[in-house]
Structure 1
Amino acid sequence: MNKQQIKTAIDLFAGIGGFRLALEKNGIQCVYSNDHNKYSCQTYSANFGDIHCADLNDIPAETIPSFDLLCGGFPCQPFSIAGVSKKQSLGRNHGFDDEKQGNLFFEILRIIDYHQPKVIFLENVKNLKSHDKGNTWKVIKSKLSQRGYNIFSQIIDGKYYLPQHRERIFIICFNQNYFPNLDFNFPNPPQKRLYELNDIFQENVDNKYTLSDKLWSYLQQHKENSKAKGNGFGYGIIDQKSEYTRTLSARYYKDGSEILVEQTNKNPRRLTPRECAKLQGFPDDFIIPVSDNQAYKQFGNSVIVPLITDIIKQIKLTIHQYNSKL
């Protein structure tokens, strides 16, 4: 049996490059990147260079260069709790019945069928496992198993790496043609976060991030109304004593309500885009070339970079240990 290594990767649904940063930190060359959102492509391009900005449905698999590792945080809105609730309220389909986003998993399979990568690394919301009474997860596992992959999955909370409560499911698949009987364990979270909440705050933040009296009154009233109905919807405030924030979401640009920063003698404020970048583990020199609203969407859709970095490191270590037994 030949010893296998992971030297090259592709970055699908690349967003602004959270996976790309993790790949580079692990010495893996990204040979192809794709996203369909022009603003995400703008940010990705400003930081990494080339990205194929197009709908994955329209990209022939044979035009993608050969690679060892397929990475993809495929669209989570069709499976997320908030996404499903919203689509149901609008009478729309969700999950795999969401033609535009839900079916993109099958586009990943199309690329897998052509390239037969050694390893697959997928990421999604934790609700993926429970969506449609577990049927969605059954389909995903079945389709990957049929193609000869051993599947390992775990829900991990990003709060062990950075000060943000962010539970996501991580799915690692090893091609049995290359790695028969390989066993994989996800990395143990670090004993200490890389930095704490107070470390993300900028000094002298522009007043434009402070909530207007009208918006602040509305959010307080909305919270009271929700409380009266017996549910927990409403804003979340962080202060000097807070350990971590709620999950940063793509809707943060609307009102910032899930993570508001307490201020002395002033209405609370939103995080700045730079603080959002820090909360997701992007480096301080990461270029943000888009508007604040686009930046909020981009960081809300992104991944916690140190966590992805740790998992890729564990993939490499597992393969190294596997090879040493051959």
Structure 2
Amino acid sequence: VEFYSGIGGLAVAAKQAGVEVKLSFDIHPLANKTHELNFPSVSTSPTTICKLSAKSLSTLFSKYFQGTPAFWLLSPPCQPFSRRGLQKDLEDQRNESFLHLIKLLSTIEEELLPQYVLVENVACFEQSQTREHLTAALKNRNYHIQEFLLSPTQFGIPNQRLRYFCLAKKHPLEFYSTDYDDKINTTIANAQASHSSVCDPICEYLELETPVQDMLQSYGIKDKTLERSGKLFDIKIPQSRTTNCFTKSYGRFVEGSGSVLETSSVEVQADLQYSDEEIVKELKKRKLRYFSPREMLNLHGFPKDFVFPNEITTQQAYKLIGN
């Protein structure tokens, strides 16, 4: 079962790991439409998580799993913990549903508990009181836990997106290694051994089959945006080996929302000592554009056959991916 399913990022990962998601929960209509399009066999529920009870979970699990799901996958709202937010943690209303799930984990009957739990959130979650509540609840129900802070760049993917992961296995299940117990881990030895320490170049994730001019027509950065915020862009070229984390504000706000791509082959120097007018003039020569939704999906590890419904706009797609 997948809680806070969004467009299905954890469902994609589960499928690649040989795990089938049968039931998902999210209240976002466009996210649910996208999830249903790509995972037609999954039942997507718009039920508010705070309304779930031990009784309703038992009913749902009996209907969709003929018992209890082996996995709980959770990617709760990150705003209560994000550096860009107020970090209100337990006091943030957007955290109520996750705290409710933690309470359910603490109180539901033993037979309703999953064998495995995976929680994903932003970096800084590991410093939160919510994390303390989560790990205490899991340990009290006899789960072994391991925690990680990992980024796609550690696996050869050129995108900086540091995330917290909590893995839990119900006793008597155990982890293969105890090396990762009782600490926040920032490396995985086996993964590092099987991936290049240098990320792939961005060009391997771009829509290169589409003419540059067509991409500029669809995703080019407007002159007025360059004039207003040109100094703030994080500019990458196709040979770059990293991109900054994309947020749901990508395409609307500039600073901290994600990288943009330079498509010009002309060598340009946009020295910050230039006047604003000169900087804009130089930036225009670089033919800057936003990454397309397809390219963003590629950089987030989604498969090539993952698609958005036709009615989803570019800006809506950005918001769904960056969420």
**TM bucket normalised to smaller:** 0.7 to 0.9
Equivalents in 1 of 2:291, 2:298: separation in Å? 10
Give runs of aligned pairs for residues 154-169 of structure 1, distance below 5 A. Answer: 154-161=148-155, 162-169=157-164
The answer to whether the aligner puts 1:152 opposite 2:146 as a matched pair is: yes
Equivalents in 1 of 2:238, 2:8: separation in Å? 30
Code of the aligned partner of 1:268: L
Equivalents in 2 of 1:63, 1:217: separation in Å? 57
- Matched with 2:65 is none
Given that 2:25 and 2:45 are in contact with CA atoms closer than 8 Å, whether structure 1 keeps it comes out as yes
Which secondary structure state, in structure 1, belongs to the residue aligned with residue 195 of structure 2? coil
- Matched with 2:217 is 207
Match of 2:303 among 276, 283, 288: 283
- Matched with 2:288 is 268
Given that 1:212 and 1:267 are in contact with CA atoms closer than 8 Å, whether structure 2 keeps it comes out as no
Match of 2:60 among 61, 64, 77: 64
Report the alpha carbon displacement of residue 286 of structure 1 after superposing the two structures with TM: 0.8
Code of the aligned partner of 1:213: D
Report the alpha carbon displacement of residue 58 of structure 1 after superposing the two structures with TM: 2.2
Report the alpha carbon displacement of residue 261 of structure 1 after superposing the two structures with TM: 0.7
Report the alpha carbon displacement of residue 248 of structure 1 after superposing the two structures with TM: 1.2
- Matched with 2:195 is 191
Over 3 Å counting, the alpha-carbon distance change for 1:244 and 1:148 in structure 2 is same
Indicate the larger mover: 107-116 or 24-33.
107-116
Q: TM-score, normalised by structure 1?
A: 0.75
Over 3 Å counting, the alpha-carbon distance change for 1:27 and 1:180 in structure 2 is closer
- Matched with 1:83 is 85
- Matched with 2:16 is 25
Equivalents in 2 of 1:247, 1:180: separation in Å? 33
Equivalents in 2 of 1:197, 1:240: separation in Å? 5
String of CA shifts for 1:194-230, please: whole Å, max 9, x gaps: 853111112321513111111111112xx4xxxxxxx
Percent of residue pairs bearing the same amino acid type: 22
Over 3 Å counting, the alpha-carbon distance change for 1:107 and 1:61 in structure 2 is farther
Can you give the 5+ residue segments of structure 1 that lack an aligned partner in the other structure? Answer: 1-9, 86-93, 224-233, 302-326
Which secondary structure state, in structure 1, belongs to the residue aligned with residue 191 of structure 2? coil
Equivalents in 1 of 2:140, 2:20: separation in Å? 28
Report the alpha carbon displacement of residue 75 of structure 1 after superposing the two structures with TM: 1.0
- Matched with 2:272 is none
Given that 2:117 and 2:168 are in contact with CA atoms closer than 8 Å, whether structure 1 keeps it comes out as yes
Which secondary structure state, in structure 2, belongs to the residue aligned with residue 288 of structure 1? coil
Over 3 Å counting, the alpha-carbon distance change for 1:242 and 1:182 in structure 2 is closer
Report the alpha carbon displacement of residue 139 of structure 1 after superposing the two structures with TM: 2.7
Equivalents in 1 of 2:199, 2:221: separation in Å? 30
Over 3 Å counting, the alpha-carbon distance change for 1:182 and 1:266 in structure 2 is closer
The answer to whether the aligner puts 1:117 opposite 2:108 as a matched pair is: no
Match of 2:252 among 251, 254, 273: 254
The answer to whether the aligner puts 1:130 opposite 2:134 as a matched pair is: no
Code of the aligned partner of 1:54: T
Can you give the 5+ residue segments of structure 2 that lack an aligned partner in the other structure? Answer: 62-67, 181-187, 265-284
String of CA shifts for 1:239-259, please: whole Å, max 9, x gaps: 134211001112114135521
Which secondary structure state, in structure 2, belongs to the residue aligned with residue 81 of structure 1? coil
Given that 2:169 and 2:175 are in contact with CA atoms closer than 8 Å, whether structure 1 keeps it comes out as no
Report the alpha carbon displacement of residue 182 of structure 1 after superposing the two structures with TM: 6.9
Report the alpha carbon displacement of residue 183 of structure 1 after superposing the two structures with TM: 4.5
Which secondary structure state, in structure 1, belongs to the residue aligned with residue 21 of structure 2? strand
Given that 2:82 and 2:124 are in contact with CA atoms closer than 8 Å, whether structure 1 keeps it comes out as yes
Q: Specify the structure having the higher radius of gyration (Cα).
A: 2
String of CA shifts for 1:46-103, please: whole Å, max 9, x gaps: 1112311232112332233121111111111110101227xxxxxxxx211112x212
Given that 1:201 and 1:275 are in contact with CA atoms closer than 8 Å, whether structure 2 keeps it comes out as yes
